[in-house]
Chain A
């Protein structure tokens, strides 16, 4: 369940800072929309493929999976654009989408989740002014990842219990008879988790005072 899309390889692309890779991704998306000509978009696509397959040595199957996820879009866009604007513009639209999806896939596959979380925290740091504490994002993510298997497991258990009592197994009725007890249970669970965290000093109103010289790490 916590299987990330990161592919560990020792390559310069993997070692590059996450912020740089995200900036490159933004640059790619700006270029393919700002300069919509076949040589430019095609050139960017080749550059993305060289970076992903050549330098970062990602498996071609991985990039293939990302392309398969948008294959319906590619077909639909190619047909509609082709009918309206001819083959050249259809090719442009398809190449543009391919470039964007592959560039994003390369960034995702070469950057650890923790590095991207650090970028998110950094991006949120200006929000300190309005009272947001960026360090909370790490806590939120940790809680969510813990809650996912818990919610799935409880849902399963409630469904089994309803089925054992002859309750509905599918249809709208099955959804509501499962969802209501499930939500009440997990809301209570979240409440308990919050109380436990507060008891350990996570309360927003009382930031834990750290003794001098013993900061975190």
Chain B
């Protein structure tokens, strides 16, 4: 990895932290935060590998005790609670967003961007976060956990639209992901 890649990874970890400053809306146990917007943007702008590392780095910073999550929380406690699955899903979500973005890079447009952000930023996050709650709390069934997560859907849909609009414009102004052919030549 080049120093430039490290700087981009650090930058997006910082961006996710800054998005945590946007006030979160507390609905029941899990807060609606702007930070999943960071998951989508990291994948959309940096691609799979760097997006994954950016979110992993962010979680490491939270784990070592910096209060970077939206509610001002941090430390190891958040990784053992019932909603920890959502946190663990972030790097994977960013990876999937990045993967779809890279695969469609040459013909990338708003539609592809929306697909990438909905699949990676919403579906993957739910697919990990929802069963985690059910496994954690024996009595909570998968169905209950699934229904409970519907309150997040409108917010997440808005975030996917914002991330996609932004990603398309940033690609035009400052493309970070390289064309597949050139990337292959560099490696």
Which A residues have a C-beta under 8 Å from some C-beta of B? Answer: 2-6, 25, 29, 66, 69-70, 72-73, 76-77, 80-81, 83-85, 89, 93, 97, 100-105, 107-109, 111, 113, 116-117, 120, 136-137, 139-141, 143-145, 147-148, 150-152, 155, 172, 175-176, 179-180, 183-184, 186-191, 193-195, 197-198, 202-205
Contact = CB atoms under 8 A, between A and B. Distances in A.
Contact of A77 (B137, B158, B169): B137
Given A175-B162, A180-B170, A113 B77 contact: no
A140 B3 CA distance: 10
Nearest to B144: A80
29 contacts: A3-B67, A5-B66, A29-B80, A69-B71, A73-B82, A89-B139, A97-B81, A100-B80, A101-B81, A102-B77, A104-B79, A109-B75, A113-B66, A116-B64, A120-B60, A137-B60, A144-B14, A144-B57, A176-B162, A180-B169, A180-B173, A183-B166, A184-B173, A186-B11, A191-B7, A197-B7, A198-B3, A203-B3, A204-B1
Interface of B: 1-4, 6-11, 13-15, 17-18, 21, 26, 28-29, 41, 45, 57-58, 60-61, 63-67, 71, 73-83, 137-140, 144, 158, 161-162, 165-166, 169-170, 173-174, 176
Given A89-B139, A190-B8, A202 B14 contact: no
Nearest to B173: A184
B-side interface mostly: helix
A69 B140 CA distance: 20
Contacts of B64: 113, 116-117, 120
A4 B63 CA distance: 11
Contact of A84 (B6, B14, B77, B139): B139
A36 to B, nearest CB: 9
Contacts of B65: 4-6, 108, 111, 113, 116
Contacts of B17: 144, 148
Nearest to B45: A183
A148 B18 contact: yes
Nearest to B53: A140
A53 B74 CA distance: 20
B140 A80 contact: yes
A162 to B, nearest CB: 14
Contacts of A66: 73, 75, 77
Contacts of B74: 5, 108
